[in-house]
Amino acid sequence: MRTMSDARLASARALLAARNLDALVISNANSRRYLTGYTAEDHPPDESAGVAIVTHDRAVLITSKNNVEWAKEEAPGWDILGQRYPPLTSA
């Protein structure tokens, strides 16, 4: 069964082909949710719930290691990568 996210991913890939692009990088929370179905929210000014990357043959959602299971549930068909962000240090 084809999901709404599958149709949206197909549209994103059609855009890649039409504009002769190699990839799309989606960092906006609303756009990421629309495309992937992943509902985690960003916490401005410095916390992002993730970034989606679409190529012609791969769809990757990069999120915090804490949110990997959540992302897998809400974004089936996407490769989910858990990223551990380094702590901020002051000089």
Q: What is the average pLDDT value for the chain, to the nearest integer?
A: 89
Residue 91 scores a pLDDT above 60: no
The H or E element spanning position 33 is helix 29-36
pTM: 0.83
Question: Which among 3, 67, 81 has a CA at the least distance from the CA of 35?
Answer: 3
Residue 7 scores a pLDDT above 70: yes
Distance of alpha carbon 53 from alpha carbon 25, whole angstroms: 5
Mean pLDDT score, 43-62: 90
Contact yes or no for 26/42 (Cβ under 8 A): no
Residue 88 pLDDT class (50, 70, 90 cuts):
low
18: number of Cβ within 10 Å: 8
| Alpha carbon 8 to chain centroid, angstroms | 13
